[in-house]
Amino acid sequence: MTDALADTAAHDLYSIPQDLVDFRETIRQIARERIAPRAGEIDREASYPWDIRKLLAEQDILGLPFAERYGGTGTGTLMLQIGVEELARACATSALILMVQELGTLPIQLFASEEQKEKWLPKCASGEWSPAFALSEPEAGSDPAAMRTSAVRDGDEWVINGQKAWITNATVADFYVVFATTDRENRRTSAFIVEKDRGGFDPGQLEHKLGIKGSPTGSPSFTDVRVPAENLIGEEGMGLRIALGTLERTRLGAAAQAVGIAQGAID
């Protein structure tokens, strides 16, 4: 292959389709004009920027992680990461609002029933609801299989007990995707949707962080929290597969956020 041909091939491989470039311009402008001026204040006050969440919802940016049939933009993973990068360049907290919209709903997008998808996804795509992804525990970070939170079946309900840690969106999420052991002997876990107003649920205290301060990170706890059987995602025992299948995808967002923060620093 000549050098010119090799250049063309590389260009095609890495070039971004024009419609995504246009969407990036829109997000870049919103980030520059409306989010960047708030970034310092968000960091100083360490409070969740509800105004930015509303703005991202109004501009369809919170729809980026979702398919069109659930009210999303249907623009795919590349566009989502471009959006995360552009937001992070102006404000890391604002980027995380978008990232958690993906993290907290991927278990549903990838593994839930059609009925569950229709119930939970459209309101997240519109930005009306925000989710949280509750996997980590004080003694179960890198090794999620060591989790102690448990769920026991009682008739048509599951009863959840345990303590999570480092959960993004704690205190602001409308629902939590909670991972719990359902068969300790065989180390099997399952994933449940827990609405914020369930009895026995406590969103817990927030961490004081060095960065991304407007994004609440907390330790929600569950004391005899009862959820209906229909809140189980996928099948009983699928928890680890759901967690790892989700994290495999969201690592891309963490990388895009890091690139955006670095670009913002260089700028």
Ligand X SMILES: Cc1cc2nc3c(=O)[nH]c(=O)nc-3n(C[C@H](O)[C@H](O)[C@H](O)COP(=O)(O)OP(=O)(O)OC[C@H]3O[C@@H](n4cnc5c(N)ncnc54)[C@H](O)[C@@H]3O)c2cc1C
Which residues of this chain interact with ligand X, rule CB under 6 A?
133-136, 141-142, 166-168, 212, 217
Which of 71, 84, 219 is CA-nearest to residue 139?
A: 219
d(CA 108, CA 117): 6
Q: Which contacts (CB < 8 Å, 24+ apart) does range 64-68 have? A: 64/98, 64/101, 64/102, 65/98, 65/101, 65/102, 65/105, 65/106, 65/109, 65/125, 66/105, 66/109, 66/121, 66/124, 66/125, 67/109
Min. distance of Cβ 41 from ligand X in angstroms?
Answer: 20
Question: Between 86 and 102, whose beta carbon lies closer to ligand X?
Answer: 102
Question: Between 59 and 150, whose beta carbon lies closer to ligand X?
Answer: 150
Which of 67, 151, 65, 77 is CA-nearest to residue 114?
A: 67
Min. distance of Cβ 122 from ligand X in angstroms?
Answer: 22
Min. distance of Cβ 133 from ligand X in angstroms?
Answer: 5
Min. distance of Cβ 231 from ligand X in angstroms?
Answer: 18
Question: Between 82 and 135, whose beta carbon lies closer to ligand X?
Answer: 135
Question: Between 131 and 264, whose beta carbon lies closer to ligand X?
Answer: 131
Q: Give the type of residue at 70.
A: Y
Question: Between 116 and 217, whose beta carbon lies closer to ligand X?
Answer: 217
Min. distance of Cβ 253 from ligand X in angstroms?
Answer: 12
